[in-house]
Chains A and B, each alone.
Chain A
């Protein structure tokens, strides 16, 4: 067991949902096999700002985010484009979506318009996100290297 894993598993004040997330995450990504699956880095991370250009968009086979809270927001008016966030797993495959749109039919444009409300996800892990429409975010969690 790596020191980083011990630090993660011994975090105080985890609720029961977070404890399962952390324990299962560590089982999966810290197997003491000396190969690719040993957690070697564990950095607390708070981010509030633009999604574009941020580290969360970039896939790296040795990087994961252990996320306690991610919120994405949109800066502009409704449009014909649906808003959503895609979460990718350790193999860069799609894991999960998050969306929270309100819709209306716009008669002049003859199209459904989407109002992108805040989308929020708690207690998950991912390697990267893809944002459609959403352009600002808040993240609380850890950057894990393994």
Chain B
């Protein structure tokens, strides 16, 4: 199993991020059942639809160590505000992300939101919730805890 901390070419931001991730999730004995030991690390590249992907499903023993997550939307502006919600290891909300332009449509009449592409770097999460964006690209690692 690779040690992400030992990867060459980590930026200073990534180095700090990865070290703190290990400090938080790799201190218990193997098989302790506390989910505070890294049991497996798998590199992961994903480009495709968010719907039905593994990233929207919570599992207590699964985390994503993410170097880059891009989400995008395939359609025109609408009255729905778009955001991505990131959940922590306990399935609790820990971060939101959005990038929109808005306008008031007097015919509708309502505020309309144009959903722009989002790019989030260097974070970990257990799952995310997509409100409107429907395609994604992920580069990072799938972490299994035990």
Q: Give residues in A with beta carbon < 8 Å to B.
A: 13-17, 19-21, 23-25, 28, 82, 84, 86-87, 89, 94-105, 107, 110, 112, 114, 119, 121-126
Contacts and interface: CB of A to CB of B under 8 A. Distances in A.
B9 interface: yes
Interface string B74-104: 1011000000000000000000000001111
B11 A15 contact: yes
B67 interface: yes
Contact of B105 (A23, A105, A126): A105
A26 to B, nearest CB: 11
A13 B9 CA distance: 8
A99 B7 contact: no
B30 interface: no
Contacts of A114: 77, 114
Contacts of A89: 47-48
B44 A102 contact: no
Interface stretch (B19-27, B54-62, B123-131, B135-143): B135-143
A126 B45 CA distance: 13
13 contacts: A15-B9, A20-B45, A20-B139, A24-B43, A87-B47, A97-B73, A99-B72, A101-B101, A102-B101, A103-B112, A112-B105, A121-B70, A121-B137
